[in-house]
Amino acid sequence: MITLSNRHSFQFMVASGALSFDGRGWPWEWPLRWCGLLDPSLFTIVTKTLTRLPRPGNLRWSHPWSVVKKIDGEGAINSIGLTNKGIDWWCQKVAPSIPANYKIIASIEAKDRKELVEMIRLLEGKKILGLELNLSCPNSPSGRGSDTSHILELCREAKKHSPYPLIAKLSFTHDYVRIAKELEGVVEAIAINSIPWKAIFGEKQSPLARYGGGGVSGKVVQPFTWKMVDELSKSTKIPVIGPSVWEYDDIQILFDKGAQAIGFGSIFLSYPWRPTLYVKRWLKNKP
């Protein structure tokens, strides 16, 4: 269980991108929500990442699956590239319509300190429980993605200005142990992003090669993301949110590795009903 400084506690989270911008999920998931097989109210939900200005990214709604590929039911590769209509749109059109019983954390990506502070100001007063800083999108053109000093600078600036607890979202390609140690007292939890194709498969051709390779997630990246959980839990006091759950037993494995909460990500693409099923089973067996 992770308890943030505003006293919001959570054990089960939905990772950014899994349930769209408002927690209701993507249109193909709505029927599951209507019949209760997907219950967003069980989770603390991170929105899909917002940027200061609208960003077209690579996603085209007419053919979304050209930038998201499933890997034999065991994970996903995506190169969406933070397609979103921008934070003003979210504040004006999306935030007011979010159901009152949804627990929402906003995910933001800012290219520099100025943009970050602007975005934090725009989110002030919104019904959110925290801010997740996406410091690690494998498909973002914002550059400096793996630059430790840039990441630390953004997190410290966010801490100065944010009325909300902060979550830092890091990547396997970061100097993540060093970053986490430096962020003690600055951020309140660490989340883990998908892994750039090249970091796992090297020069092997990605099905999304024309979009830069994409980010890989799900069961196939457990050796990488769980290594991060292991190392981070041992080396920092900041609670870590464990990713890449695929089977029910993965939850216990992640808690044993030191994760203090679970974040369900690309499992929603292959088995959108599983997280709800797993959480209900967990709460029944291990309340």
Any contact of residue 266 with ligand FMN (CB under 6 A)?
yes
Report the 10 Å Cβ neighbour count for 122: 19
The distance in angstroms from the start CA to the end CA of the chain is 12
Q: Please, which residue, 7 or 61, has the CB nearer to ligand FMN?
A: 61
Any contact of residue 174 with ligand FMN (CB under 6 A)?
no
**CB–CB of 139/161 below 8 Å?**
no
Range in contact with ligand FMN (rule: CB under 6 A) among 35-43, 117-125, 214-222, 226-234:
214-222
Interface with ligand FMN (CB under 6 A), residue from 4, 10, 12, 17? 17
Tokens of 44: 């603390």
Interface with ligand FMN (CB under 6 A), residue from 106, 189, 190, 221? 221
Any contact of residue 58 with ligand FMN (CB under 6 A)?
no
Q: In this structure, which long-range contacts are made by residues 234-238, counting pairs with CB atoms below 8 Å and at least 24 apart in sequence?
A: 234/258, 235/177, 235/180, 235/181, 236/177, 236/180, 236/181, 236/183, 236/184, 236/190, 237/184, 238/180, 238/183, 238/184, 238/187, 238/188, 238/189, 238/190
Tokens of 262: 């679970």
Interface with ligand FMN (CB under 6 A), residue from 13, 38, 45, 48? 48
The single residue listed with the structure tokens 């986490």 is: 180
Tell the burial category of 37 from Cβ atoms under 10 Å away from its Cβ (0-12, 13-18, 19+): middle
Interface with ligand FMN (CB under 6 A), residue from 244, 260, 261, 279? 244
Determine the residue type at 135.
L
Interface with ligand FMN (CB under 6 A), residue from 58, 78, 162, 171? 78
Interface with ligand FMN (CB under 6 A), residue from 2, 80, 94, 106? 80
Any contact of residue 76 with ligand FMN (CB under 6 A)?
yes
Task: Restricting to residues 178-197, name those near ligand FMN by CB under 6 A.
Answer: 193-194
Q: Report the residue number whose CB is nearest to ligand FMN.
A: 17
Residue closest to 187 by CA, chosen among 162, 219, 212: 162
Q: Please, which residue, 125 or 247, has the CB nearer to ligand FMN?
A: 247
Any contact of residue 233 with ligand FMN (CB under 6 A)?
no
By CB under 6 A, name the binding residues for ligand FMN. 15-17, 48-49, 68, 76, 78, 80, 82, 107, 134, 137, 169, 193-194, 217-218, 221, 225, 243-244, 265-266, 269
